[in-house]
Amino acid sequence: MTAIKICGLTRRSDADHAVTTGTGYIGAILASGPRLLTAVQAKTVLGPRRHGVRRVAVFGSQSAAEVVTLVQQLDLDVAQLHGDVTVDDIHHILSATSRAVWPVLRVEGTELPPRAAELAAASGWLVLDAKVVGQLGGTGVALDWLGLAGQVAALRHALPAVQLVLAGGLRASNVAEAIRLLAPDVVDVSSGVETAPGVKDPAAVEQFVNAVQTATGIRG
């Protein structure tokens, strides 16, 4: 089963709706870009803790110590780390919070960056997103899933317990193909279910969730 993360939330109503559709992860951006929130805003948007729903914040230039503080302040389940993440950062956040850490690799072409294995080994997770100069995510640019399939399979062979999160250009019309080719544990969507940056389209969210559930055999 592939879980779903709706990211780049800026409105509490969108977070509430995402939860009702069966989304397993809801995410707020504390890094940069048009969906950027303050910690106070993120707390409001994510809302109360809900059974079975994990709370995620996306970090950029913050130090590991700052991430720890925000994980605790916002009662997060996951710290998603963009930017120049190190193994020491991952270990520090894990030991200080006991919450999941998702290091992000921004990929260009069909080769995983050399740091993929060490980051995945340190955290047990790896997020793959498209590399777009000057932007950390939410670009709507898709990865070359077919071209990356061999690299991802090799990583899983070396690290069987690693869990893969796939981001970048996902939408209802293509997520089944991405799941077929890479079998991610989580699919992470933001711009693919929006009418404007940070404004989610309820119908598009429902279509995306239905497409994932169909692709993983939950529906139909």
Q: 72-81 pLDDT, tens per residue?
A: 999 999 999 9
Superfamily of domain 3-215: Aldolase class I (3.20.20.70)
| pLDDT, tens only, 5-59 | 999 999 999 999 999 999 999 999 999 999 999 999 999 999 999 999 999 999 9
CA distances from 193 to 6, 112, 143, 148 (A): 8, 27, 17, 24
Query: pTM of the predicted model, to two decimals?
Result: 0.93
Q: Has residue 133 got a pLDDT over 80?
A: no
Exposed/middle/buried for 196, CB within 10 Å: 0-12, 13-18, 19+? exposed
